Structure 1
Amino acid sequence: MHIYATKKVMQAFKKAEKMTSGTIENMTILEESDSPEEQALFEWHINSVKVNQEDLLIVTHDLSGLTLLIVNADTEDLLDFYEWFEEALYDLLGKLGFSHKSIQQYLTYSKGRQLTLGKATDFKKIGRNSSAVSLLRQLDYYQENEYMVQSYWQYQTSRLNRSLKQASQPFTQFINEYEKVIGPVSFNVNMAEIEVRLKMGDLPDVIRVIQMPMQLTFEDLHRVIQKVFMWQDAHLHQFIMEDGATVISAEQKRSMERYQMESQAEASAASQLKLADVITPEENGIFTYVYDFGDSWEHRIRVRRFYSENRRMFPKLSLMSGEPVPENVGGPPGYADFLEVINDPTHDEHSVIKEWANDYFTRLNLFNDVNNFNHDLTVMHS
């Protein structure tokens, strides 16, 4: 494995090397810029940047644009850089469903568990690394700084980093090159079939059954629920687990901590918590997702079954019952009133409510379809 480093990062590694009076474990620092690797599959670029007051090492794969993030890596931490690199890679490829064996094959196929570090001189590839930095800065908010590997953001940045305008998405590009050089990727994806039931009071519940990879996060599950219920992600949300624990967005958690709201500060950040960390056959098989604390849309989530797949998997909607409801309608009681007015052309408020709901009905007619939802879910995670 070879990593091209900017001048700043190269100097930091050399400083760390002096601290050891020898060489950094699993790493050889080269004076020349050329890679000793024979395959571009094993070449990366690294830079050190500051994003939202956090010092980051950003490592990008030259061919695909996959991105690894390591936070607050000071000189002493660089002595264990291989461990951080390996942890970040396991986290990212694990979210794609790579088996432990396939990840280990990638790490050892070229030079064993060894990294070489050389000077970055290719401006085109340096630009790919810079584009990952730009993507990271464009994301809505940043995560808690106690996480050395920023799982969610390296996943999202990797998914979007197409600075060389390759035909394939970054994940697909990496998998294709892997299979060309090493052989077929073996996948091991733990799955859960979950029923999400929007409780509607006296009206029939709105139900969606989703196949969900367990290596994805609660933030991913939030986005999937938003998609298949046609919510617009315009309000706060939280998960309330069977054991009483709460899971909220990282942005919300950070705001609550800022205003010293202790109960919310103790909640977990959705983007840093994988489903498999919390949901098991023994625990949290039933929990709640609440969206919009004003209208209080309560979704009861029940795990129907656990199973595994040996292929790459995406979230998938397998069953839908009932139509999505409009935002800001006043919860289940407000929706009941909405239906009464919209279904009665003689009602005094019919024309006003119909105009107010025009966007909702347009989206309902265009997008409320299983195939459309599944196309969007695949795009979101490919």
Structure 2
Amino acid sequence: MHIFATRKVLQAFKKAEKMAGGSIENIEILADSGSPEEEELFEWHINSVKINQEDLLVLTHDLSGLTLLFLNTDAEELLDFYEWFEEAVYDLLGKLGFTHKSIQQYLTHSKGSNLTVSKATDFKKIGRNSSAVNLIRQLDHYQENEYTIQSYWQYQISHLNRSLKQEHRPFKQFISEYEKIIGPVNYHVDLAEIEVRLKMGGLPDVIRIIQMPMQLTFEDLHRVIQKVFMWQDAHLHQFIMEDGSTIIGAQQKVNMERYQMGGEEEAYAASQLKLADVITPETNGVFTYVYDFGDDWVHSIRVRTFYSENRQVFPKLSLMSGDPVPENIGGPPGYAYFLEVINDPTHDEHSVIKEWANDYLSRLNLFNDVNHFNHDLKSMHI
């Protein structure tokens, strides 16, 4: 595995090498700017940046644009850089369902458990690294804490980083090249089939049955629910677990702490917690998702079953019952009134309500389909 480093990072590595009294464990700093690797699959670029007063190391995979993130970048911490790198690769590829064996094959395929480092000179590859940095700046609520940066956001940024305009998305590109050079990827994915039921008062509930990989986070589950209920993610949300704990969006948590909001109970950031961290066959099999604290859309969630697959698996909608509900309509009572008006052309407010709901009705006609939702869900995670 080879890393092309900017001058600043290369100097930090050399300083760490002096502190170690020789070489850094599993890392060799090369005198020239070349790479001993024969394949881009094993090459990365690294830069050090400051974002919101935090020092980060940003690594981008040369071929695909996959991105790894690290906090605390002084020379002393670089003594443990290989351990950091290995842990981040395991976390990122593990979210795709790679087995331990397949990840280890990638880490050791070319030069064993060693990294070589040399000076970065390819401006195109440096540009891809800069593109990842710009994505981090756009996601300003990444700064929840070190775990969030190194886990959830490196996954999201990897998905988005397509600065070289390659034909395939980053994860798909990486997997394709991996299988070309190393061989088939072995997968193992633990899943939960969950029923998400939007409680509608006197009206029939709106139900979605979803398969969710357990290595994904509650933030991913939030995004999946938003997609299959055709919500616009324009309001606050929270998960209320069976054990009483509360899980909210990372930005919500930052704002609560900044303005000293909230009660005695601690709220956890959704991007910090994988589903497998909280949901087990014994605990939290039933919980609640609330979206829009004004309209108060309450979704009852029940885990129907746990199972495993030895293949690549994405979130998937397997069954849907009932139409999505428009936002900003006043909750279940407001929706009941909306149906009364929209279904009665003689009602005094029919034309006004129909014009207000034009966008919703158009999306309902075009996109309210299992296949469409599943296409979007797959695109969100590959």
Q: Do they fold alike, i.e. is TM over 0.5?
A: yes
Pairwise CA distance, 1:362: 1.0
Aligned 8 A contact 1:71 1:147 in 2: no
Query: Which residues in structure 2 correspond to 1:143-292 (within 5 Å)?
Result: 143-147=143-147, 149-263=149-263, 266-292=266-292
User: Given that residues 240 and 288 in structure 2 are in contact (C-alpha distance below 8 angstroms), is that contact kept between their aligned partners in structure 1?
Assistant: yes
Amino acid at match of 2:95: K
Given that 1:51 and 1:137 are in contact with CA atoms closer than 8 Å, whether structure 2 keeps it comes out as yes
Give the conservation status (yes or no) of the 8 Å contact 1:290–1:299. yes
Contact in 2 for aligned 1:90/1:103 (Cα 8 Å): yes
Aligned to 1:95: 95
Equivalence for 2:332:
332
CA distance in 1 between partners of 2:269 and 2:189 (Å):
23
Q: 1:64-75 residue pairs with structure 2 within 5 A?
A: 64-75=64-75
Give how far 1:146 is off. 3.5
What 5-or-longer segments of structure 1 have no aligned partner?
none
Contact between 2:141 and 2:254, CA under 8 Å: does it hold in 1? Answer: no
- The residue type paired with residue 108 of structure 2 is T
Superposed CA offset, 1:157-211 (max 9, x none): 1111112221111101111111111110000111111000000111110000001
Structure-2 residue corresponding to 1:374: 374
Q: Is the Cα–Cα contact under 8 Å of residues 88 and 149 in structure 1 kept in the other structure? A: no
Give the AA of the match of 1:203.
L
Query: Which residue number in structure 2 is paired with residue 105 of structure 1?
Result: 105
- Tell me: CA distance 1:217–1:279, structure 2 relative to 1, closer, same or farther (3 Å): same
**2: CA distance, partners of 1:344 / 1:130:** 55
Is the 1:34–1:118 contact (alpha carbons within 8 Å) kept by the matching residues of 2?
Answer: yes
How many angstroms does 1:144 deviate by? Answer: 1.4
- CA apart distance, 1:143: 2.8
What's 2:123 paired with?
123
Q: Distance in 1 between matches of 2:75 and 2:107?
A: 24
Contact 2:142/2:149, CA 8 A, preserved across alignment: no
Aligned partners of 1:158 and 1:230: how far apart in 2? 25
Q: Percent identity?
A: 80
Q: Which amino acid aligns with 1:236?
A: L
Q: Give 1:38 deviation, angstroms.
A: 2.2
**Secondary structure, in 3 states, of the residue corresponding to 2:143?**
coil
Structure 1 window deviating more from structure 2 (231-240 vs 346-355): it is: 346-355
Distance 1:376 1:253, change over 3 A: same
Tell me how far 1:265 sits from its aligned partner.
8.0
- Residue 148 of structure 1 and its aligned partner are, at CA, apart by 7.5
Structure 1 SS opposite 2:142: coil
Amino acid at match of 2:141: Y
Q: How many residues align?
A: 382
Q: Deviations over 1:332-380 (max 9, x none)?
A: 1111111122222222222221221111111111111111111111111
Report the Cα distance in structure 2 between the residues aligned to 1:200 and 1:262, rounded to whole angstroms.
28
Taking the TM superposition and a 5 Å limit, the aligned residue runs for 1:347-358 are 347-358=347-358
Letter in 1 for 2:308: S
Q: 1:140 Cα deviation (Å)?
A: 5.0
**RMSD between aligned residues:** 1.3
Q: 1:147 aligns to what SS in structure 2? A: helix
Aligned to 2:50: 50
- 2:310 and 2:182 map into 1 onto residues whose CA distance is 18
Displacement of 1:124 in angstroms is 1.3
Paired residues for 1:130-149 under 5 Å: 130-139=130-139, 141-147=141-147, 149=149
After superposition, give the CA deviation of every residue in 1:20-71 in whole Å (9 maximum; x if it has no partner). 1111111111111111122221111110011222111001111111100001
Note the C-alpha offset of 1:149. 4.8
Alignment partner, residue 59 of structure 1: 59
- Take 2:148 and 2:84, find their aligned partners in 1: how far apart are those partners? 8
CA offset at residue 100 of structure 1? 0.7
Deviates more, 1:297-306 or 1:30-39: 30-39
Give the C-alpha shift of residue 129 in structure 1.
Answer: 1.0
TM-score calculated relative to the size of structure 1:
0.97
- Match of residue 318 from structure 1: 318
Q: How big is the shift at 1:264?
A: 8.1
Task: For 1:68 and 1:57, locate their aligned partners in 2 and report how far apart those are by CA, in whole Å.
Answer: 8
Give distance in 1, aligned partners of 2:337 and 2:321: 21
The answer to whether the Cα contact below 8 Å between 1:46 and 1:60 also exists between their aligned partners in 2 is: yes
Partners of 1:103 and 1:32 in 2: CA distance = 29
Give the letter for the 2:245 counterpart. A
